[in-house]
Amino acid sequence: MNPYNPSELSNSLEVQPKLFFADEKGVHRQIFKKPNLMFCCQMNENMTDDLYYSVTWYVNDVFLVSKGPVLQSSINDTNLYESELLERGYKLDINVLNPSVNIHQGSSTTIQLQPTFPFGCSSRVDDLNYQTKCLLSVHMFDPIDSNDCKGSSISVTGSQKCGVEISGFYYYDWRDGVRYDNVTEMTITTRDSNDYKEGRNRFELKLLTEGTGLNDIIQGSYISNIVVTTSSETSWQGKTCYSYVDPHMRSFDGRYYENQNIGIFVLYRHKSSKQEEVSSIQFAQLASPYPVVQRTLYRVSRMKPATFEQKGLHSYFPKRSRGF
């Protein structure tokens, strides 16, 4: 007599992801250990072979497949394999512990990533290079920004690859029970956009997984959207300063004024970069009876090519920083 009824039985099951490596022949008949993932039903240790068991697998409450009936001693026959998920178009991704973050303009914050299953890398059987690491790259990008992550408004700090790397396993360093769910932090920061349109303060970013020789089910997988909301004390994108005619001037914050003095005056200077400056050189014509500035020249000093527009008598200088 078995003391467990069906409702109690369902509560005694635990799904465990496990990694195993299968032999696969390469182009030159070399044997590779290819990583594969399976999900196993771990049953209560008090269960016996008094009953037959069937296991029904679901993904996000959507029916996938039923397996069994089998005795408890053959419960491994009900395992769900990576290939079965791939056949049905499923991919696995990395769990984002904080998918929504707030960040102040100019500061940084961290996105926490945690694998919920082990993954591995393919390697030759005779390759025991313990110095090599199995790595999954997680790249961040803004799908509506034409710039790469280094030129977009939200960027990853301390990275040349626009993301982070998460460690996996080769066949020689994997064993059941080893921890695979360590949290990896990706630090992001805000930066000035390359264009001068009114800036966004809400970004829906995507993460893409890539790597070499990894489990097929995680290669090229898009991770759930990350929502980043930014805030700032002042909004500068989309603002313009200008100087024209006598000259008449307007500052980035909307103040209008005139300057009839003769000399060299700084219209705009970058707050941190000493190499970026826009100046006006004002002088009077000797033959003019009016004590006003008759000629105005503009000087741009910058390491990189200057960005400004010349529109008739108006000179517009798009603002790149809150330095003016």
181-204 pLDDT, tens digit each: 999 999 988 876 545 455 678 888
Per residue in 76-89, pLDDT (tens digit) is 999 999 999 999 99
Closest CA to 23 of 159, 126, 139: 126
Across the range 170-174, mean pLDDT stands at 90
The pLDDT score that the predictor gives to residue 57 is 94
Name 148's Cβ contacts closer than 8 Å, sequence gap at least 6: 141, 162
In the chain, domain spans: 6-87, 95-231, 240-318
The pLDDT score that the predictor gives to residue 192 is 60
Query: Is residue 55 a contact partner of residue 27, using CB atoms and an 8 Å limit?
Result: no
The pLDDT score that the predictor gives to residue 238 is 63
Model confidence band, residue 65 (pLDDT cutoffs 50, 70, 90): very high
Q: What are phi and psi of 8, to 5 degrees?
A: -70, -30
| pLDDT exceeds cutoff 80 at 208 | yes
**What is the DSSP secondary-structure string of 30-87?**
-EEEEEEEEEEEE--TT--TTSEEEEEEEETTEEEEEEEEEEGGGGGGG-EEHHHHHH
| pLDDT exceeds cutoff 60 at 279 | yes
The pLDDT score that the predictor gives to residue 181 is 94
**CATH class of segment(s) 95-231:** mainly beta
The pLDDT score that the predictor gives to residue 310 is 38
Q: What are phi and psi of 82, to 5 degrees?
A: -55, -40
From CA 172, how far away is CA 160, in angstroms rounded?
30
Count Cβ atoms within 10 A of the Cβ of residue 21 and give its class: 0-12 exposed, 13-18 middle, 19 or more buried: buried
Cα-trace Rg, the chain: 31
Strands 222-231 and 100-104: parallel
The pLDDT score that the predictor gives to residue 272 is 63
Least confident of 24-28, 52-56, 121-125, 165-169: 24-28
Across the range 100-126, mean pLDDT stands at 90
Q: CA angle 218-181-134, nearest 5°? A: 55
Model confidence band, residue 320 (pLDDT cutoffs 50, 70, 90): very low
Amino acid at 295: R
Residue appearing with tokens 């920083």: 321
| pLDDT exceeds cutoff 70 at 296 | no
Q: Identify the residue with better confidence: 298 or 122.
A: 122
Model confidence band, residue 258 (pLDDT cutoffs 50, 70, 90): confident
Give the mean pLDDT of the chain: 77
Least confident of 110-114, 139-143, 191-195, 200-204: 191-195
Strands 135-141 and 163-167: antiparallel
Tokens of 9: 């039985």
| pLDDT exceeds cutoff 80 at 90 | yes
Model confidence band, residue 285 (pLDDT cutoffs 50, 70, 90): low
- Reduced to 3 states (helix: H, G, I; strand: E, B; else coil), residue 73 is helix
Partners of 23 in the beta sheet? 33
Residue 324 Cα to chain centre, angstroms: 32
Least confident of 34-43, 70-79, 113-122, 144-153: 144-153
From CA 58, how far away is CA 153, in angstroms rounded?
39
